[in-house]
Amino acid sequence: MKRRKFLKNGALYSAATGASLFIGEKNVTQKAALSEKIEKVKRAMLSMQRYAWEQGVAAQAMLESGETEWVILMAKDAVLRQLDDGRLAVVSSNQGVTDPAANGEAVLFAAKTTGDSTLQRGAENMLDYLLTKAPKTKDGTLYHIVHKPQVWVDSMYMAPPFIAVAGRPGEAVKQIEGFRKLLWNPEKKLFSQIWDDDLNDFYRKDFWGVGNGWAAAGMARVIKALPQQMAREKKRLVSYVREVIDGCLAYQRLDGLFHDVVDNPKTFIETNLSQMLAYSIYRGIQGRWLDVSYRKHADRMRKAAHQKVDKYGLVQDVCGAPNFESAGTATEGQAFFILMETAASECPSS
């Protein structure tokens, strides 16, 4: 499993002593401390109640960290709670259009791993919903919710990665281009959060930090999924990820963190954007599409995030559930700590 491989790699965090962030192969005590911290973060994540996107990002964290049995179990429950229209993992609220698709890659992986036809149909029905049933703008860009004609930056993570791995990479790129057309601010090099077609204007123009993290991480996953014959599209997406990382870094605090609204220092200090950007940078370096000079920024953000993990494994001061209006804890904050750690462990040091 990748988790075991992870423990053998260098570049590990010194959780036990607070000394150097990165440690060598020989320090068994420090590696064991890191392993235990990650397990605590996972346990805390799995204890949380989860809506569709939260189940999806948690399952993705398990998938990338090599926890195959957990992925299968979480995928089965996502399909158990699938609506007739194809949306996965829906509990209580059924307003999300793209949020359920965050489960898609995990369900597809579980279907291929087990040969379970129910899981395969679950993945196919989720894809069919996105392609043929989901509400969209006139140019075919997915709305984020069913009851308002709104495009949210969150959708850049929720839907395109699954669409790409499900065999429709061209559609995945098309969706990213549609989101970017409406939400990207070229002067700030940041994404606004919500566009509203009825208003023909932004419903929320603020440059929400976690929203920009969703965009960077989602595009990084799509880049990985694109086939070789889409080199031109990959190059374009790489430039998009680099731009949003640079845009965020321009507002990074001295402690390695960011404000909830990236360019507004009056908003609360938030943890998860640092994890999301660190994940994206490590994946970019691993994929050889991002220069290794970015690693120092990822390492700094990773160190800041580690300092936010409490004794129960809860990553504190992320944009907090259930309303995401203040610093707190959230499934996605837990998941991106795991995603960040997995990506760091698989990222070459030079």
Tokens 């001061």 sit at which residue? 317
Mean local confidence (pLDDT), 57-69? 98
Alpha helix (H) ranges present in the chain? 2-8, 28-46, 52-64, 68-80, 104-114, 117-128, 155-158, 160-165, 169-183, 209-225, 231-249, 272-286, 295-306, 331-346
Model-level pTM? 0.91
pLDDT tens readout for residues 125-177:
999 999 999 999 999 999 999 999 999 999 999 999 999 999 999 999 999 99
**Architecture of the domain whose range is 2-48+148-346:** Alpha/alpha barrel (1.50)
Categorize the per-residue pLDDT at 115 as very low, low, confident or very high, splitting at 50, 70 and 90. very high
Q: What pLDDT score does 174 carry?
A: 98
Q: Are 175 and 159 in contact (CB under 8 A)?
A: yes
Using alpha carbons, select from 238, 170, 267, 249 the residue that is nearest to residue 212: 249
For the segment 107-124, the average pLDDT, to the nearest whole number, is 98
Q: What is the rounded CA–CA span in Å between residue 242 and residue 189?
A: 10
pLDDT at 204: 98
Taking only the tens place, the pLDDT of each residue in 233-247 is: 999 999 999 999 999
- Pair of tokens at residue 34: 């890191």
Q: Residue 47's CB: how many other CB atoms inside 10 A?
A: 12
Torsion sign over Cα 298, 320, 241, 262: negative
Give pLDDT, residue 19.
41
283, 288, 294, 300 alpha-carbon torsion, rounded to 10°: 30
DSSP 27-89: -HHHHHHHHHHHHHHHHHHHTS---HHHHHHHHHHHHHTT-HHHHHHHHHHHHHT--TTS--S
Which of 45-59, 82-96, 98-112, 116-130 has the least mean pLDDT? 82-96
pLDDT(6) > 50: no
What pLDDT sits at residue 21? 52
* Contacts within 8 Å (CB) and 24+ apart, 25-34: 31/7, 34/7, 34/341
User: Would you state the pLDDT for residue 269?
Assistant: 98
pLDDT in tens, 248-262: 999 999 999 999 999
Element (H, E) at 22: strand 22-23
Most distant pair of Cα atoms in the chain: their distance: 60
One-letter identity of residue 291: D
